[in-house]
Structure 1
Amino acid sequence: MPLFVMGFLTMVIARSTGLVPAEVTQALPEVTGVLLAAALFGLGTGVNLRELVRGGRSLLLGGVATAVIGVISLLGVVIIG
C-alpha cells in the first residue's frame, strides 16, 4: 500500500473520531487552496515550452485529454440539469 494512501486513511480516521479540532478543519480550505496553487506552479515550471511549441505526441495527448474531460463534464451538466 502506498504511503500516501496510508496517510489519507489515517487522516480520515482522525477526522471521523473527532481528534481534529474544529479550528483546524475551518482553516483547511484556505490551506488546501495555497498548496494546490503551489503544486500547479511546480507542474507549470516543469513544462518544456520548446517541445510544446513543436507539437507532437505531448500536444496531441494534452488535446485529447482536454477534449475527453470537456465532453464528460458537458454530459454531466446536461444529464443533471
Structure 2
Amino acid sequence: MMLLGGIIGFGIGIGFGLAESSPGPEALWRAAAAALVGGVLMRWWGRVWVKSLRQAHQDQAARAAAEAEEARKTETTKKP
C-alpha cells in the first residue's frame, strides 16, 4: 500500500509541478514530497483497512458460532 501511495503521490506531484510550468528540479522536488506524503497516508489507511477487515471477519465467525450453538440448543430441547 505504501508503494502504491508513493507512486500515486509522485504522479500527482509531478503533474501539478508540470502544470504550473515549474522548472524540472522544482517539479521533481514537489513530486518527491508528494510521494512521501502519499506513501505515509496509504500506509496508515492500509493498516486501518486491514484491521477493519480482520474485525469484520472475527465478528462474522463469532455470529456463526453463536447461531450454531443456538441451533444445537434448540435441537436438543426438541428431542424427548
Q: Would you tell me which structure has more helix in proportion to its own residues?
A: 2
**Would the TM-score normalized by the shorter structure come out above 0.5?**
no
Q: Is the radius of gyration larger for structure 1 or structure 2? A: 2
Bigger relative contact order, structure 1 or 2, given CA contacts below 8 A and separation 6+?
2
TM-score, length basis structure 2 = 0.35
